[in-house]
Amino acid sequence: MDTQGPRTDSQPSRSAWFDALDPVLPAEMIGLWSGVGIPSGHPLDGVLENLQWFGKRFHPDLSADALLFQWKPGRLVPIDPALIPIRMAIRFAPFGRTFVARNWFSYMQRIFRARARTASFKLRMIDGKETAAMVYDRRPIVDYFRWLGDDELAGMMVVEGDERRYFFRLKKVDGRPRVDPLNEGATTP
């Protein structure tokens, strides 16, 4: 199976590649996953990586930390997507790829930190197939997942009202994260 997808960053070819992958069940996703974007011509390509995005965490109660960022080496902070206007983030995405944005975001993480879980995951239909999907709380966003390999997933973020899709890959992290007692809400991988 081609886990890289097409050697292009066009939206139609990435969508066709994603659609050909095998579906995922929510129970198969429980745990900590590290992430990286997959180029697709989406305005957010490269933004999350620049801001030190780590990945996602899926909990046994089917809730999720939708956005985990690297705060300091070995420390993860869940960010509340409801505090970040998605349409504005897409519109100003070029700024999100700058050093200034990375520096600013590192200081703003305490403000954006999630105080509770920020999403739930369940089975959902997309393009005629049922697969695991993470539905963001208080945001019109759904991430759909498909298998790339035994411990790798492909993700496709869909923002309501925007036909463009943001693609990413997740790799399962061994072991369970531990809570950092010195920084409530932060964990170490």
- Token couple for 171: 């790799």
- Model's pTM, two decimal places? 0.85
Contact assessment for residue 14 and residue 37, using Cβ atoms and an 8 Å cutoff: no
Cα–Cα distance measured from residue 18 to residue 51, given in angstroms and rounded to the nearest whole number: 25
Domain 11-173+182-188 fold is: Lipocalin (2.40.128)
Closest CA to 84 of 113, 42, 53, 116: 113
Domain boundaries, the chain: 11-173+182-188
pLDDT in tens, 65-121: 999 998 777 789 999 998 888 888 999 999 999 999 999 988 888 889 998 889 999
pLDDT in tens, 141-167: 999 999 999 899 999 999 999 999 999
